[in-house]
């Protein structure tokens, strides 16, 4: 205490001597001197330590460092608050992310309601960001690119295994990346904490906005029918017959094939865009055909319902097939009938948001529609005369000015016919969070192990 008072007295005495010399030389006014004296007399030790912390026994840690550490003490509270509510109070429901290349913007929706936007940076023209329908298939807080010189990609959310991801980056607001979607730090952190694997990401040139959609051709939910037990005689074990099996076996047509294949020898192979699963371990592929029964959609629906995870459905006009995936793995695929198959679909993404009735049968849906055919590159020859009158020709390659508008989603659904037993199986599996994608495209190379459906439109 004595040392502190001595230092304060010494500081005030030194200040008075300096001010007296300035007054005698005419450098300052009396008012300024009075104000300076009042400031030096009322300054607290804490204030002196803040501004002059580098002196008076504080060593190498000045007041600025003390102020900075005090500010840091509040950061954990802010981080906790951000992690719990990254975007505040948002509606509970499926998340949807829409990327607009023309706007260089990311638009976030939850339960079909707009939540937030941010500026982004997508791929340069020579390495453009692909357009189409994707989903988050991998997340890492800190990731380094294995393609571009080990470049850091903080808060990475991968959407293709070929190298496209959303992550924190710089040069925001214009096309600057090698194909990824760069985001500002704050938004990248908050989005990372909000999303889960399989969050839907749709990329288009123009801004897309989901709109609520109701149509009688959309799937409705139905509980699985009760199993019918056959009568038991003596010591025989009961045989459970399923209604779907009765329908299939009563029909003379071949049973529906799927990606999950029960071992069989005589069953004819059905062409598919997806690789078939291998035979179960311990089975003999040379066993007689009568020893195995093909899995039906009803059987596979029971397996899917037990997982309690949303399913994704993809209908391809190109292949005229319906595919179903769950938890990044194929469930089954079957043929469908499409009216006017030569007419385009465009690409439509229908999302089941929630049940609307007490019986949990009707679902509330929204839809976004991507343009049909992508812009085509057109070549033309331009002729010009120079100042000497000679004709100069040059070939110009350019894209068509505008994309064709997408067909009406209701008209597209009306053209698709699905077998009743397949429709019934889907009705058992469908629920909030499920997605139906209808597109002109087939399954591309990006759809495979560890992905949901990836539909690249351009």
Contact indicator for 121, 169 with CB cutoff of 8 Å = yes
Closest C-alpha among 188, 152, 182 to residue 169 = 182
Tokens of 240: 């459970």
Q: Which two tokens stand for residue 15?
A: 């200040």
Which is it for the CA torsion 202, 208, 210, 214, positive or negative? negative
The angle subtended at Cα 364 by Cα 440 and Cα 117, nearest 5°, is 75
pLDDT at 71 over 80: no
Beta bridge partners of 267: none
The residue assigned the tokens 């695929």 is 333
- Domain assignment present for residue 388? The answer is no
Sign of CA dihedral 186, 189, 192, 193: negative
pLDDT, tens digit, 9 for 90 and up, residues 225-278: 666 544 444 443 333 433 333 333 333 333 333 333 333 333 333 334 444 333
pTM: 0.66
Which of 64, 80, 96 is the C-terminal boundary of a domain? 80
My answer on whether 106 and 56 are in the same domain is no
Position 453 in a domain: no
Residue among 159, 215, 149 nearest 364 (CA): 215
Identify whether the C-beta of residue 113 lies closer than 8 Å to the C-beta of residue 90: yes
How deeply is 345 buried, as exposed, middle or buried, from its count of CB atoms within 10 A (0-12, 13-18, 19+)? buried
- Give the confidence band of 144 by pLDDT, cuts at 50, 70, 90: confident
pLDDT value for 47: 37
Q: How confident is residue 295, by pLDDT bands cut at 50, 70 and 90?
A: confident
Mean pLDDT of 204-221: 96
- 30 phi and psi, to 5 degrees? -65, -35
User: Which CATH number goes with the domain that contains 135?
Assistant: 2.40.440.10
Q: According to DSSP H, which parts of 316-453 are helical?
A: 409-414, 420-429
User: Which range marks the domain in which residue 291 is found?
Assistant: 217-264+285-373+405-446
pLDDT on residue 382: 80
Task: Determine which of 52-66, 370-384, 404-418 has the lowest per-residue pLDDT on average.
Answer: 52-66
In this prediction, residue 358 carries a pLDDT of 81
Q: Are 185 and 191 a contacting pair, CB within 8 Å?
A: no
Residue 168 included in any domain: yes
Among 293, 348, 290, 291, smallest CA distance to 317 is for 348
SS3 363: strand
**191 and 316 assigned to the same domain:** no
Using CB atoms within 10 A of its CB, is residue 62 exposed (0-12), middle (13-18) or buried (19+)?
middle
Final residue of a structural domain among 65, 80, 95: 80
Q: Up-side HSE of residue 286: CA atoms within 13 Å toward CB?
A: 0
Residue that the structure tokens 């499409």 belong to? 338
Q: In this structure, are 38 and 183 located in the same domain? A: no
Please indicate, yes or no, whether residues 147 and 95 belong to a single structural domain of this protein.
yes
In a domain, 361, yes or no: yes
Examine the pLDDT at 74 and tell me if it is beyond 70.
no
**pLDDT tens per residue, range 86-97:** 888 899 999 999
pLDDT over 80 (residue 164)? yes
Please tell me whether residues 310 and 175 are part of one structural domain.
Answer: no
Nearest to 453 by CA among 152, 103, 202, 279: 202
Q: Which residue has the tokens 């509330």?
A: 364
> Model confidence over 335-361: pLDDT tens digits?
999 999 999 999 999 999 999 988 888
Task: Name which residue leads in pLDDT, 62 or 101.
Answer: 101
111 and 67, same domain (yes or no): no
Do 293 and 354 fall within a single domain? Answer: yes
Return the higher-pLDDT residue of 36 and 357.
357
First to last CA, the chain: 76
Q: Which residue has the higher pLDDT, 217 or 16?
A: 217
Please tell me the distance from the alpha carbon of residue 273 to that of residue 287, in angstroms, as a whole number: 27
Instruction: Answer with the residue of higher pLDDT: 44 or 447.
Output: 447
pLDDT at 333: 96
45 and 169 assigned to the same domain? no
Domain end marker among 188, 209, 230 = 209
> In 10 A of CB 352, how many CB atoms?
23
In a shared domain, residues 303 and 189: no
Answer yes or no: is 275 within a domain: no
Q: Compute the residue count for the chain.
A: 458
Confidence band for 404, pLDDT divided at 50, 70 and 90: low
Integer Cα distance of 201 and 98 in angstroms? 6
Within a domain: 248: yes
CA–CA distance, 156 with 163 (Å, rounded to integer): 11
Cβ atoms of 167 and 151 closer than 8 Å: no
pLDDT (mean) for 443-452: 93
Q: What pLDDT does residue 84 have?
A: 54
Q: What is the mean pLDDT of the chain?
A: 75
Asked if 242 and 134 sit in the same domain, the reply is: no
Q: Give the whole-angstrom CA distance, residue 160 versus residue 446.
A: 7
Q: Please indicate, yes or no, whether residues 234 and 332 belong to a single structural domain of this protein.
A: yes
pLDDT mean over 40-63: 36
306 contacts: CB under 8 Å, gap ≥ 6: none
Q: Is residue 47 part of a domain?
A: yes
Residue 353 pLDDT? 97
Evaluate whether 176 touches 182 at the Cβ level (below 8 Å): yes
Q: Quick one: pLDDT band at residue 374, thresholds 50, 70, 90?
A: low
pLDDT at 46 over 70: no
What total number of domains does the chain contain?
A: 3
Cβ atoms of 327 and 449 within 8 Å: the answer is: no
Out of 9-23, 233-247, 443-457, which region has the weakest mean confidence (pLDDT)?
233-247
The reply to whether 455 falls in a domain is no
Helix, strand, coil shares of the chain, percent, nearest 5, are 25, 30, 50
Do 364 and 427 share a domain, yes or no?
yes
- pLDDT given at position 72: 40
Q: Which two tokens stand for residue 437?
A: 């994608």
Per-residue pLDDT at 178 exceeds 90? yes
- Can you read off the two tokens belonging to residue 445? 């190379």
410: its two tokens: 């209701």
Give the whole-angstrom CA distance, residue 183 versus residue 21. 59
In the block, residue with structure tokens 């214009």: 174
């Amino acid at each position: 205490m004595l040392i502190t008072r001595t230092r304060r007295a010494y500081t005030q005495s030194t200040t008075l001597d300096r001010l007296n010399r300035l007054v005698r030389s005419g450098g300052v006014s009396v008012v300024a001197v009075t104000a300076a004296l009042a400031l030096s007399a009322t300054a607290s030790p804490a204030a002196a330590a803040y501004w002059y912390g580098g002196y008076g026994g504080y060593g190498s840690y000045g007041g600025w460092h003390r102020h900075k550490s005090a500010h840091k003490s509040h950061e954990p509270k802010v981080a906790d608050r951000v992690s719990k509510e990254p975007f505040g109070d948002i509606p509970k429901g499926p998340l949807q992310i829409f990327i607009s290349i023309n706007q260089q913007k990311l638009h976030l929706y939850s339960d079909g309601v707009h939540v937030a936007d941010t500026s982004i940076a997508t791929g340069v023209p020579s390495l453009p960001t692909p357009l189409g329908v994707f989903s988050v298939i991998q997340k890492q807080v800190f990731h380094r690119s294995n393609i571009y010189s080990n470049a850091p990609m903080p808060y990475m959310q991968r959407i293709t295994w070929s190298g496209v991801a959303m992550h924190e980056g710089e040069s925001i607001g214009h096309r600057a990346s090698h194909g990824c979607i760069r985001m500002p730090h704050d938004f990248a952190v908050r989005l990372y904490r909000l999303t889960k694997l399989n969050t839907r990401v749709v990329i288009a040139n123009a801004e897309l906005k989901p709109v609520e959609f109701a149509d009688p051709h959309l799937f409705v939910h139905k509980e699985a029918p009760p199993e019918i037990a056959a009568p038991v005689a003596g010591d025989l074990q009961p045989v459970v017959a399923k209604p779907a099996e009765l329908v299939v076996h009563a029909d003379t047509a071949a049973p529906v094939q799927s990606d999950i294949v029960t071992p069989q020898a005589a069953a004819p192979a059905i062409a598919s865009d997806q690789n078939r699963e291998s035979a179960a371990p311990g089975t003999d592929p040379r066993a007689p055909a009568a020893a195995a029964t093909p899995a039906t959609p009803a059987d596979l629906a029971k397996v899917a319902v037990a997982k309690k995870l949303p399913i994704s459905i993809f209908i391809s006009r190109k292949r005229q097939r319906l595919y179903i995936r769950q938890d990044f793995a194929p469930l089954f695929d079957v043929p469908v009938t499409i009216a006017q198959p030569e007419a385009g679909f465009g690409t439509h993404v229908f999302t089941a948001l929630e049940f609307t009735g007490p019986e949990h049968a009707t679902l509330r849906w929204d839809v976004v529609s991507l343009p049909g055919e992508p812009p085509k590159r057109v070549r033309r020859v331009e002729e010009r005369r120079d100042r000497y009158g000679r004709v100069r020709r040059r070939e110009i390659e350019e894209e068509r000015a505008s994309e064709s508008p997408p067909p009406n989603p209701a008209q597209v659904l009306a053209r698709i016919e699905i077998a009743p037993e397949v429709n019934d199986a889907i009705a058992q599996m469908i629920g909030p969070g499920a997605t139906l994608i209808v597109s002109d495209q087939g399954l591309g190379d990006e759809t495979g192990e560890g992905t949901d459906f990836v539909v690249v439109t351009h």
